[in-house]
Structures are given as structure tokens and as C-alpha cells.
Amino acid sequence: MATQNLGLIMHGVTGRMGMNQHLIRSIVAIRNQGGVTLSNGDKVMPDPILIGRNAEKIEALARAHGIGRWGTNLDAALANPSDTVFFDAGTTQMRPTLLAQALRAGKHVYCEKPIATTLAEAMDIARTAQASGLKHGAVQDKLFLPGLRKLDMLRRAGFFGRMLSLRLEFGYWVFEGDLQPIQRPSWNYRAEDGGGMILDMMCHWRYVLDNLFGEVKSISCLGTTHIPQRWDEAGQPYPCTADDAAYATAELIGHNGEPVVAQLNMSWATRVNRDDLVTFHVDGTHGSAVATLTGCKAQSRVNTPRPVWNPDIKNTMNFSEQWQDVPDTQVYDNGFKIQWEHFIRHVVEDAPYQWTLPEGAKGVQLVETALQSWKERRWVDVPALNF
């Protein structure tokens, strides 16, 4: 059994997602487990160099996690032939330019979502990546969540019969910053800095919808800024210019060709009264299921109770107890780490890989159509993209 190193340029990993999910819980975890195992039993060990603007911060991060290479010069890192993969988790506005620069340098590219702030930019970088002949991928982490993997297992088993509808509820209360400290960065609420609920989350919902429930055909969306003023990291008030909530309905064509209706509610101005910060409630003719980040419970056709509507009598049914847990049948690893392992195998041994930059462009398309629907106050079709 042989082990080979894979030189990896990691840009933008001092932020919350880049540091926690991609560096610590993915690349560092892969290094600690001895690398990624290939189909022939050989190992691939990621050898990252951390690149960022703040030398002190990036050095401290590298030292804290046993990484010997770090720097502030991206051009020099891209010029190193030993580093063959470029990863970006920096700002969305910079991403298309950075990806194009890395592709010109002959690097395989992998990045966070959204892959761009506009569909035109997303299509351009996706086509550039395809024409380069290099490997490319976009993060689609929610497909690897235990709850959604269990939900997908039910779908593939035919549990739902004909799928009818999906109700997605996402969000929690993000503190304004005056009474209690903020728990999300202030740029999230400034449109000029790439903030906004629709831009942030519609990219996720696109790949979740397409892969698990059906191809998105049209959408009706209402965005809003519920909290018009927040306080930033320095405790200074600022006006919120980005949407902090959105309420959408989408028409899907299910995997069996039948229509599926999806309701998508997302808000950073809601207090949670559900099993998790996100829930996916799916109804079908033969059964229903509700998935969270880690769990899934189901109710089949033959086990469906018969409640009686009577507003004059207090209901005595405990509806939550009438569902059965879908059991764990395996150990579920971190979703970001799983997709990293897939991408590394794709780069090294050309293993199949479907979560490419064109798939990332579809997410940006749903963002644009949702924003268009909000602006024009109407349903908007979501046409197929041609690459």
C-alpha cells in the first residue's frame, strides 16, 4: 500500500465555514485518519498550504492544527507545481475571479457556494472549468447529512408512493447585536457585501430539491428584511440592506414525472419550535417523513391515525409519538468531509463525481429567479441550463 501527497491550496479558511467545516473537520480530520483510501487500497494524504490576507491569523491557524505551510501570496502558491488543487471559501464576490486564476494556473478547483453572485458569472466560470479539462466541484454538503440520506433511502425504496409535497422550514433567531452579541457576521445583512438569505440558502435548496425531490421548474418567492437595523462586530449600528427571510413556493417535476409542490420558508428572524434548525416534511400517497439534520421519522399509509376535527374539545392525540424513527444503519461521517473525500478520489483516480461547477451554477440560477419573482411579484420559470 503506497501513500501519495496531494498539494492543496486552501484560500479563505479563517472564516467560520472555511475553518470549522473545511479545514478542521475535513482536511485535518482526513490527515488524522491517515488519508483518503483509493479503490486499489493506496492512500492520498492532503498536504495543504493555507493562504490568507492576515499573516498573523493564518500562521496561528496553521500552527494550531499542525500544518507546516501557510502564506499570504496567492500568486506564489498558484505558481507551485506541487500544489495541484485550489480551494476557495472566501467572499462570493471574489470567487469567480479566483477560480479563473487557479484554472489558468492549471489547478483543479473546488469551492464553497454560491460559486458567483450572478448567473452570468456562474455560467462563465462553469464553462471555463469544463473547457479546461481540469477537475472542478462545488460544495453540496447537505446531500450528505444523515437525516437527508435517510430520507433519500425512503425515496429510493418507494416508501412515499407518489410524492406529493415538501415543506421545508429553516432558520432561527439571529440576535440584532444591541442586547445580545451577534452570532452571524454582519456582512450577511448587507447586500453590497454579498449578504442575503436568498443568495445564501437558495443555492443549497436547489441541489437538495433536484437530487431528492424533483427538478425545479418554476418558483414564486417573497423576500423581506424583517430587522432593518443591526449592530456589527464593533457594536456599531448599521442599516440592513439584504433580505433576512424569504418565503417561496416551487413547482417540481418528480423523479417519476409527477408534479411535486415545495414550500420553502427560511428566516433569521424566527424562534424555533420544531425538532431542529431545519426540517424537511415530505408527504406521499403511501407515507410521509420528516427529516432533520441528523434524524428522520416516518409514518406509513397503514399506520396513519384518524384525528377528528372538533374545536370544542381539547385534542388528546400526541401526534409526534405516532411517527417511527428511521434507524441508523451506519456511522455517518461529517458531510463536508465525505464530499472532500469524493473530490480527492475524483482528482487522483478519476472516480465519478457529479457535484461540479455547472451544478453550482444551477444554485445561482435559482437565486436569480427567486429574486426576480420577488421584484416582479410573479411566478418565474426555471429553464434548463446549457453548458
11 in any annotated domain: yes
Let me know the angle formed at the C-alpha of 63 by 58 and 64, rounded to the nearest 5 degrees: 100
385 in any annotated domain: no
d(CA 242, CA 190): 5
On whether both 129 and 220 belong to a single domain, the answer is no
**Strand (E) or helix (H) holding 202:** helix 197-208
**Of 279, 242, 246, 281, whose CA–CA distance to 260 is shortest?**
281
The pLDDT value given to residue 16: 86
The total number of structural domains that make up the chain? 2
- The set of residues, in sequence order, having a beta carbon less than 8 Å from that of 9 and lying 6+ positions away, is 48, 49, 51, 74, 77, 78, 83, 85, 86, 87, 102, 107
pLDDT higher than threshold 80 for residue 288: yes
187 in any annotated domain: yes
On whether both 109 and 41 belong to a single domain, the answer is yes
On whether both 105 and 198 belong to a single domain, the answer is no
314 in any annotated domain: yes
On whether both 189 and 329 belong to a single domain, the answer is yes
| The amino acid at 214 | G
pLDDT tens, position by position, 117-129: 999 999 999 999 9
- Angstrom distances, CA of residue 4 to CA of 82, 97, 233, 344, 349: 12, 30, 43, 12, 12
pLDDT tens, position by position, 28-75: 999 999 999 999 999 999 999 999 999 999 999 999 999 999 999 999
360 in any annotated domain: no
d(CA 30, CA 24): 9
pLDDT tens, position by position, 88-104: 999 899 999 999 999 99
On whether both 150 and 135 belong to a single domain, the answer is no
Q: How confident is the model at residue 1 (pLDDT cuts 50, 70, 90)?
A: confident
Q: Whole-angstrom distance between the N-terminal and C-terminal Cα of the chain? A: 40
On whether both 135 and 253 belong to a single domain, the answer is no
Which CATH number does the domain housing residue 22 bear?
Answer: 3.40.50.720
On whether both 112 and 170 belong to a single domain, the answer is no
Q: Once rounded to an integer, what is the mean pLDDT over residues 142-157?
A: 97
Residues in the chain: 387
Which CATH number does the domain housing residue 254 bear?
Answer: 3.30.360.10
384 in any annotated domain: no
On whether both 165 and 135 belong to a single domain, the answer is no
What phi and psi, each to the nearest 5 degrees, are found at residue 249?
A: -125, 130
On whether both 299 and 256 belong to a single domain, the answer is yes
**Of 38, 126, 87, whose CA–CA distance to 341 is shortest?**
38
Q: Once rounded to an integer, what is the mean pLDDT over residues 316-345?
A: 94
On whether both 16 and 137 belong to a single domain, the answer is yes
304 in any annotated domain: yes
280 in any annotated domain: yes
Task: State the residue range of the domain holding 295.
Answer: 145-333+365-376
On whether both 58 and 106 belong to a single domain, the answer is yes
The pLDDT value given to residue 387: 84
On whether both 349 and 370 belong to a single domain, the answer is no
